[in-house]
Amino acid sequence: MITCFIRYQIDPTKKAEFMEYAANWGQAIPRNGADLVGYYAPYEGSSTLAYGVYNIENLAEYEAYRERLAADPLGKENYEFAMKEKFILREDRCFLKLASGPHSKLAKL
């Protein structure tokens, strides 16, 4: 299992748009095969950083998931919404493996 962390830099005047975007992914991501941990929007402190976090089996499954997500009606609509409204200024993603143990069986792999 790997975890995808997405770091967004968002337009601070368009938090409501990001909230809508995040809510849409809350439906589309699990429906297309990833285990969504959640989307996190600015609350206190930085007004420009937001995050999305989900788990997926491996990078091969990630590629198949991305294809399903791009074909999903809500997924397509959400991609178009982000492009049209331009509330995402930058998006960075990385894939991490759980390393904290001993409580995690994954940490032993």
Q: How many domains does the chain have?
A: 1
What are the pLDDT digits (tens) for 5-55?
A: 999 999 999 999 999 999 999 999 999 999 999 999 999 888 999 999 999
Residue 105 belongs to some domain of the structure: no
Please state, rounded to an integer, the average pLDDT across all residues of the chain: 93
**What DSSP line would sit under 59-101, residue for residue?**
HHHHHHHHHHHHHSHHHHHHHHHHHHH--EEEEEEEEE-----
| CATH code of residue 58 | 3.30.70.100
37 vs 74: CA distance, rounded Å: 19
Is residue 77 situated within a structural domain?
Answer: yes
Compute the distance between CA of residue 34 and CA of residue 105 in angstroms, rounded to an integer.
Answer: 20
Please write the tens of the pLDDT for every residue from 42-88. Answer: 998 889 999 999 999 999 999 999 999 999 999 999 999 999 999 99
**Which pTM value belongs to this model?**
0.87
